[in-house]
Amino acid sequence: METKELLKKVRKIEIKTRRLSNHIFSGEYHSSFKGRGMTFSEVRTYQYGDDVRSIDWNVTARYNEPFVKVFEEERELTMMLLVDISGSQFFGTSLQFKRETITEIAATMAFSAIQNNDKVGLVLFSKEVELFIPPKKGKSHVLRIIRELVEFQPKSTETNIEEALKFLSNVMKKKAIVFVLSDFMDENYDTTLRIASKKHDITGIRVFDKHDEEIPAIGMVPMLDAETGIINLVNTNMKSVRTSYKAHYLKNVEYFEKSFSRSGAGYLSSRVDESYVKKLLGYFKRRGAK
C-alpha cells in the first residue's frame, strides 16, 4: 500500500473510531473495568473500627501510637489488544472483510483507553506472534497501532490462539485488560486461556461473516481455505455438504463460548454486517452493572 493511500485509510479509521470512543465508549469503558488493585496512599492514626491488619508497625513503633496504612484503587490500566491476522480474516461477503471490522473495533478500544489515560499495546498473531508493540500512552502511539492493523502483512496464514495467549502471559507481568479479536476458527486454547485469565481481565470478541455460518446452495463452487491455501471443488447443492459445513462452524462457536465462560473471561460475537457499536455497548453496560 502506498504511503498516501495508507495515511488516508488510517485517517478515515481514526475519525470514525475516535468519535465513537469519545462520545460513546469512554464512559462505559471507564465504569466497566476496575483498576489493577489497591495501591498505598498514606498513613494515618488508628481509629476505632479500623482493621488491625492494616496497622503499619514500623510507623507505630516510631511514634509510639498506632498508625494504619490507607490504600486506594489504582485507576490507571494497561490494555492489550491481541489481534488475529491469519488468512481467514480476509474473508467477507457483505460490506467489508472481517479484518477491517476487527481493525475498527481495536482502534475504538485503543482510543477509549487513551481517553482514560491508560496504556495500550498490540499483539498481531497468526500461527505465531508476528508483531508486539509494548503498551504506551498517547495519540501518536495509537495511530501507530492503527497503521500496523491496516498495513501489516503476516508471514503465516494459519491461526494459533494458544501461542498468542502464552506470549501474553510471558510479556505482561502485571494485570492487563485484554481483548482477543478473532473469528476463533481454532481450538486447543482453553487451558492457556484459563491460566491467562487468572492474571488478566480477558474478553474475546468474535467477528464473523454470515457465510462462515452456512453456505447457500449454488452448485459446484471452488472454495479456497484461506489458512491452508488449498482449493477444493464443493457441490453446495448437496444438503450433507451444507450440514457438515454448518456443524463445523457451530462446533467452533461452542468451543469459543465454553472456553471463555469456564475461564471466567468475558466474550461477545458480532457479524460484520451488524453494529459492533451496539454489541460493545451492551457488553460494557452488563459488566458495569455487576
Write the DSSP string, the chain: --HHHHHHHHHHHHHHHHHHIIIIIHHHHHHHS--SSEEEEEEEE--TT--GGGB-HHHHHHHTS-EEEEEEE----EEEEEEE-SGGGG--SSSS-HHHHHHHHHHHHHHHHHHTT-EEEEEEESSSEEEEEEEE-SHHHHHHHHHHHHH---S-----HHHHHHHHHHH--S--EEEEEE-----S-HHHHHHHHHHSEEEEEEEE-HHHH-----SEEEEE-TTT--EEEEETT-HHHHHHHHHHHHHHHHHHHHHHHHTT-EEEEEETTS-HHHHHHHHHHHHHH-
Residue 185: HSE in the Cβ half-sphere, 13 Å Cα cutoff: 27
Cell of 216: 447457500
Query: With contact defined as beta carbons under 8 Å apart, do 237 and 217 qualify?
Result: yes
Predicted local confidence at residue 224, as pLDDT: 61
Quickly state the pLDDT bin for 36 (edges 50, 70, 90). Answer: very low
Query: Which residues on neighbouring strands pair with residue 40, listed in sequence order?
Result: 71
Tell which wins on pLDDT, 27 or 38.
Answer: 27
Quickly state the pLDDT bin for 71 (edges 50, 70, 90). Answer: low
Q: What topology does CATH give the domain 3-33+75-289?
A: Rossmann fold (3.40.50)
Average the pLDDT over each of 6-10, 13-17, 108-112 and give the range with the smallest value.
6-10
- Residue 281: closest CA among 108, 15, 24, 23: 24
Query: Which residues on neighbouring strands pair with residue 220, listed in sequence order?
Result: 235
Q: What is the mean pLDDT of the chain?
A: 85
Domain range annotation of the chain:
3-33+75-289, 38-73
Query: With contact defined as beta carbons under 8 Å apart, do 105 and 83 qualify?
Result: no
Confidence check: pLDDT of 37 > 70: no
Condensed to tens digits (0 to 9), the pLDDT of residues 126-175 reads: 999 999 999 999 989 999 999 999 899 999 888 999 999 999 999 998 88
Residue 40: HSE in the Cβ half-sphere, 13 Å Cα cutoff: 8
Confidence check: pLDDT of 106 > 90: yes
CB contact burial 60-70 (16+ within 10 A = b; e otherwise): beeeeeebbbe
Condensed to tens digits (0 to 9), the pLDDT of residues 189-209 reads: 999 999 999 999 999 999 998
CA distance 142 to 139: 5
